[in-house]
Amino acid sequence: MNIGFVGTGTITEAMVTGMLGSTLEIGGIVVSPRNGEIAARLAAASNLVRIAADNQAVVDQSDMVFLAIRPQIAEEVVTALRFRPGQSVVSVIAATDRAKLGAWIDQRVEITQAIPLPFVADRGGVTAILPPNREVAAIFAALGSAVECETREEYDLLAAATALMGSYFGILERTTGWLAQQGMPADKARAFVAPLFLSLAETAVRHGEMPLEALRQEFSTKGGLNEQVFEDFERNGGTTALTAALDRVLVRIKG
């Protein structure tokens, strides 16, 4: 399969990097020249990658086309392209649904939406796709894992969940900052807290059959410190604020 990328930003670089290090059988990867620096870097990384003359050349030379462009210019870029009937198109354009894309493309193409995160570069990302698509899911499974959504509602909810990334690092930041205020060197605090959070995430993945509430209780001794912190967090509005923030994000996603 020849895979093309219209748009050469951060996510394109992450996906191509992940693909080059994966077990995927790829005939070639074609990238647009939009960002010359990133395109050149990708082409230098592997003989499989070549830079197309323009966006239309990407479409013409690809079996599967990834649209990785900013939503502000998406309509202008996509409506100028000519796709082949039956061609596979994967959109990673934020806040642009399949119906709108279909109207812009004006061809009978197979459109799949996806939310790849930067972790796909290390083949450790989880990617939501809509609708289920075996070929697209296989690609993202090779870059970590894929969750195939049956409905737009499921897809939007997972998109909202991705908005927690900044908050996750914010909690790490505040925790390591607090440790530093107590007199611990900041680098030593981070060296402890970051792997601690990683281990907790790995535990949640490894014990996927176990309810998260049960995991919380297992890691919280009755009357102990973990129980105390969560109770304080909940009592002081932490869980309420988190839910309200996700509600607001979902409203933005739904438009």
Beta bridge partners of 115: 128
* Gap between the Cα atoms of 89 and 59, Å rounded: 9
Rounded Cα gap, residues 106 and 100, in angstroms: 10
pLDDT for the residue 106: 81
Identify the pLDDT of residue 34.
Answer: 87
Domains of the chain are 2-150 (3.40.50.720), 163-254 (1.10.3730.10)
Q: For 85-107, what is the mean pLDDT?
A: 92
pLDDT grade for 254, boundaries at 50, 70 and 90? confident
Mean pLDDT calculated for residue range 54-77: 97
DSSP 80: T
The whole-angstrom separation of Cα 76 and Cα 104 is 9
Burial (Cβ within 10 Å: 0-12, 13-18, ≥19) of residue 152: middle
CB count in 10 Å sphere of residue 166: 10
* pLDDT tens by residue, 121-152: 999 989 999 999 999 999 999 999 999 999 99
What confidence score (pLDDT) does residue 94 get? 87
By the 10 Å C-beta count (0-12 exposed, 13-18 middle, 19+ buried), 76 is classed as exposed
Taking the model in full, what pTM does it have?
A: 0.90
Residue 69 has pLDDT above 90, yes or no: yes
Looking at every residue in the chain, the average pLDDT score rounds to: 96
Distance between CA atoms of residues 241 and 238, nearest Å: 5
pLDDT tens, position by position, 210-242:
999 999 999 999 999 999 999 999 999 999 999
Q: How many CA atoms lie within 13 A of 119 on its CB side?
A: 13
Q: What percent of the chain has pLDDT over 70?
A: 100
- Identity at 240, one-letter amino acid code: T
Query: Which of 57, 49, 7, 59 is CA-nearest to residue 28?
Result: 49
Mean pLDDT for 161-175 is 97
Q: How far apart are CA 179 and CA 181, in angstroms?
A: 5
- CA distances (Å), origin 14, targets 25, 37, 60, 65, 122: 18, 14, 23, 16, 8
The predicted-structure confidence for 9-28, as pLDDT tens digits, reads as follows: 999 999 999 999 999 999 99
What is the pLDDT averaged over residues 161-170?
Answer: 96
Distance CA 186, CA 176 (A): 6
